[in-house]
Chain A
């Protein structure tokens, strides 16, 4: 019995390490795969993700989405998020590479009909910024992640107008100038 104990201990030690490692990796692998499937980075894709596709689990068929997979290694990201006219519910949210939702604003938390969101990584210079009605600067926890816009389809008759409004939102890389730490 005493000779078996070290082997049993080794098996449980390996099991514990693999268990913790896979728990850590699962969300990061799922997120990386989703980002790859959602299209070109630092570009807004209206209609993605699609709840009727099989790319992202448990999407809502009652919402329209637009997404911007981002990669801050190419520079800071500027998102211009436009709130659809008379949106029943709209929000812009940000996710890091571990799937955590580190930012969200909805239509009732925005003064006008659009908001500019500048996302940088720690140590990255803040880009030169012009005028914007409302601007939020975020420091992202990871280089890669996702900006996701949602709006409720309150009535099928409004779906085309809501989809058109989502297409007005954009995202793209901007050159950094000053340091922010």
Chain B
């Protein structure tokens, strides 16, 4: 084979490999910190973030705020590590995280809201139905229809937990001291 043709083929193969490596690297939001099923990165929204975080964030969570203003946790699995599936039913239990305002939102694998006839997409600090002691139980997926229920379609989905103006302990992101809601699978067809 002529050396010029060989060079061209090698360059094209290298370029394809480079694009594939980038695609794999930004396939999901970075997860440098894990707390139960919840993951986040300290660099989200920051001008000091690394190129991988910045590229993944652009694709999966554009216009994030810096950590001292808002912390974004993502869950793609339940507490047991199983991928979240909209046909199954999940229960999120907890108390108010240490933040001025919080919300939990369901997104499809394309990072957009999952259309549903009930127009239920999220539960927030200001809208959640609470137990007598102030704690909450949120149902995700399946066909629960309870006040805190959010449908999740019929395939894989993920959750975003937003914590606006997090407290000082929360901003440490230390899983040893930061208490986040639990996420358990209740049933699956």
Least CB distance, B18 to chain A, in whole angstroms: 3
CB–CB B51/A14 < 8 A? no
Q: Does A44 contact B (CB under 8 A)?
A: no
Least CB distance, A46 to chain B, in whole angstroms: 16
Given contacts A91-B69, A104-B66, whether A152 and B101 have CB atoms under 8 Å apart is: yes
Least CB distance, A65 to chain B, in whole angstroms: 9
Bound: A49/B62 CA distance, A: 11
CB–CB A100/B47 < 8 A? yes
Q: Scan A20-37; emit 1 where CB is below 8 A from any B CB, else 0.
A: 111110110011001000
Chain B interface size, as a band, is 35 or more
CB–CB A60/B122 < 8 A? yes
Of the 9-residue stretches B85-93, B103-111, B139-147, which lies at the interface with chain A? B103-111
Given contacts A31-B58, A93-B65, whether A154 and B122 have CB atoms under 8 Å apart is: no
Bound: A100/B63 CA distance, A: 8
CB–CB A30/B59 < 8 A? yes
Which chain B positions have C-beta within 8 A of A141? 47
Least CB distance, B17 to chain A, in whole angstroms: 4
Interface residues of B (CB under 8 A from A): 6-7, 10-11, 13-15, 17-19, 21-22, 25-26, 45-47, 49, 51-52, 54-55, 57-66, 69, 100-101, 103, 105, 107, 110-113, 121-122, 124, 126-127, 160, 162, 164-165
8 tightest A-B CB contacts, nearest first: A18-B18, A14-B14, A57-B111, A27-B58, A15-B17, A11-B14, A30-B58, A26-B55
Interface residues of A (CB under 8 A from B): 7, 10-24, 26-27, 30-31, 34, 49, 51-52, 54, 56-62, 88-89, 91, 93, 95-96, 98-102, 104, 106, 108, 141, 146, 148, 152, 154-155
Q: A17-B18, A152-B101 are in contact. List 18 more A-B contacts (CB 8 A).
A: A10-B10, A11-B13, A11-B14, A15-B18, A18-B15, A23-B22, A26-B55, A58-B60, A58-B62, A89-B164, A99-B63, A100-B46, A104-B65, A104-B66, A106-B69, A108-B165, A146-B63, A154-B126
